[in-house]
A and B are shown apart, each in its own frame.
Chain A
């Protein structure tokens, strides 16, 4: 168990170090998410009541599409240089590659979201301290990462991977996106925690199902 954790952490460390140097994913994700937030903040009048309804959607559009940009590079870069096969040659069960990659992209997306969320709150004129948003983001991002890591590995084997990933990813993650938008709407509206509990329950169930299923089928996805 300790050895498995060491391997997972080594994969995470390797991915973060590599990204820190290349900034290949970080810059594109951050800029894209920022652009979405800024463009929509200009498109809607902050005085109208409609803002409270559309704002959570804007936030999750930014997170979803920015996350997809990162996911599209998650395995593609590894495959181009043979790094994925290097990992597959390591003496371990291959689901550890899944957990390592998942943890890496999860941390990465959370960092991006931690930067984007305050900017969103300022631009859309919400209070800066809404702790529930952190919980919603963490749970929904875990679901994104669980599904996205699997599909990213799948798409890396195809020639049309830039198309394959969104075509697979978006329909499957619709429940998480809807639940996250609804929960965020309640949080931004200052409603009590109970109002968002059922939505958080849906996200948690989604996370649990896809973490188990994806971890189980990942080895078969890796092999051609």
Chain B
């Protein structure tokens, strides 16, 4: 059995710099298969950069990253087959319909029994009756539901969420929260960055606070109350005066 058995995501000394600016300053992270890890942090903490690197959208400056036991630098396409990404951007085409978007991505992911899978996934996110509407005409909340459908289309084992709740109203945010609960209770590994401490703590098996590209706090989700998390978050992300 390999040393990586049971580990879905592993980074060692991961750094990412943009010119002089260090966005990630040596992240060591291990996420077990089926685990839900929530990352909190203020704007500019490096959350989005971390997700982008793990999603193979950005190349790390140094360090090693393994996703599902695969090397990020050499096995990008195989990693992309195993991950689903939802961010504040929908990755959808506004001039195409709901169905056309999913059909396009089904081809790109080589999804077997495409029509059946699209029908299933639309049912799952509650958009079965809107399949022929153009994405550009949908509300932000509905687009985000479709973005989740797109991310789940190829049945990935690892889900990377980068503040998917950004820009959603209360109703859409509540739907997303409830939907995430169903996802995190299943077989999938979830790494989720968010500003919503309450919801994050509710779903997380483990919480991490990132600040200025570094892990400044890490604990099991169940070991914290929401008051303690608020307190810890404020202390860890306090800017020097």
Do A89 and B80 contact each other (CB < 8 Å), given the known contacts A10-B104, A82-B89?
yes
State which of B57, B96, B110 has its C-beta within 8 Å of the C-beta of A89: B57
Q: Which residues of B contact A14 (CB under 8 A)?
A: 93, 96, 100, 104
CA–CA, A61 to B75, complex, Å?
44
Encoded as 1 (CB less than 8 Å from any A CB) or 0, chain B from 83 to 112 comes to 101010111111110001000110111100
B91 touches A7 (CB 8 A): no
Q: Does A171 contact B (CB under 8 A)?
A: no
Encoded as 1 (CB less than 8 Å from any A CB) or 0, chain B from 52 to 66 comes to 000111110000000
Do A85 and B57 contact each other (CB < 8 Å), given the known contacts A90-B80, A93-B77?
yes
Q: Which residues of B contact A47 (CB under 8 A)?
A: none
B85 touches A89 (CB 8 A): yes
CB distance from B19 to the nearest CB of A (A): 11
- Interface 9-mer from A16-24, A143-151, A200-208: A16-24
CB distance from A75 to the nearest CB of B (A): 14
Query: How many of chain B's residues touch chain A, expressed as a range?
Result: 20 to 34
Q: Does B78 contact A (CB under 8 A)?
A: yes
CB distance from A96 to the nearest CB of B (A): 9
B96 touches A17 (CB 8 A): yes
A83 touches B91 (CB 8 A): yes
A18 touches B59 (CB 8 A): no
In the complex, which residue of chain B has the Cβ closest to the Cβ of A7?
Answer: B108
Q: Does A49 contact B (CB under 8 A)?
A: no
Tally chain A residues at the interface, Cβ within 8 Å: 24
Main secondary structure of the interface of A (DSSP, over half): helix
Q: Does B81 contact A (CB under 8 A)?
A: yes
CA–CA, A12 to B217, complex, Å?
47
CB distance from A27 to the nearest CB of B (A): 14
A85 touches B58 (CB 8 A): no
Which residues A1-41 have CB closer than 8 A to chain B? 3, 6-7, 10, 13-14, 17-18, 21-22
CA–CA, A7 to B57, complex, Å?
19
A91 touches B80 (CB 8 A): yes
Q: Which residues of A contact B80 (CB under 8 A)?
A: 89-92
In the complex, which residue of chain A has the Cβ closest to the Cβ of B108?
Answer: A90
Which residues A177-224 have CB closer than 8 A to chain B? 223-224
CB distance from B93 to the nearest CB of A (A): 6
B90 touches A10 (CB 8 A): no
B92 touches A83 (CB 8 A): yes
CB distance from A108 to the nearest CB of B (A): 15
State which of A17, A86, A93 has its C-beta within 8 Å of the C-beta of B95: A17
Q: Which residues of B contact A7 (CB under 8 A)?
A: 107-108
Encoded as 1 (CB less than 8 Å from any B CB) or 0, chain A from 75 to 89 comes to 000000111011111
- Which of A3, A90, A93 counts the most chain B CB atoms within 10 A? A90
- Which of A85, A86, A92, A223 counts the most chain B CB atoms within 10 A? A86
B109 touches A82 (CB 8 A): no
Q: Which residues of B contact A224 (CB under 8 A)?
A: 18, 58
State which of A10, A21, A81 has its C-beta within 8 Å of the C-beta of B108: A10
CA–CA, A224 to B21, complex, Å?
14
A82 touches B91 (CB 8 A): yes
Q: Which residues of B contact A3 (CB under 8 A)?
A: 110
State which of B77, B89, B95, B96 has its C-beta within 8 Å of the C-beta of A91: B77
CA–CA, A81 to B96, complex, Å?
13
CA–CA, A13 to B105, complex, Å?
12
CB distance from A144 to the nearest CB of B (A): 25
Q: Which residues of A contact B87 (CB under 8 A)?
A: 82, 85
Which residues B90-142 have CB closer than 8 A to chain A? 90-96, 100, 104-105, 107-110, 134
CA–CA, A18 to B87, complex, Å?
23
B59 touches A223 (CB 8 A): yes
Q: Which residues of A contact B92 (CB under 8 A)?
A: 81-83, 86
Q: List 26 A-B contacts (CB under 8 A).
A: A3-B110, A6-B107, A7-B108, A10-B104, A10-B107, A13-B104, A18-B93, A18-B95, A21-B95, A81-B90, A81-B92, A82-B89, A85-B87, A86-B92, A86-B150, A88-B57, A89-B55, A89-B80, A89-B85, A90-B105, A91-B77, A91-B80, A91-B81, A91-B109, A92-B108, A224-B18
Beyond contacts A82-B89, A89-B56, A89-B57: 5 other A-B pairs, Cβ-Cβ < 8 A, are A6-B107, A81-B93, A90-B108, A90-B109, A91-B81
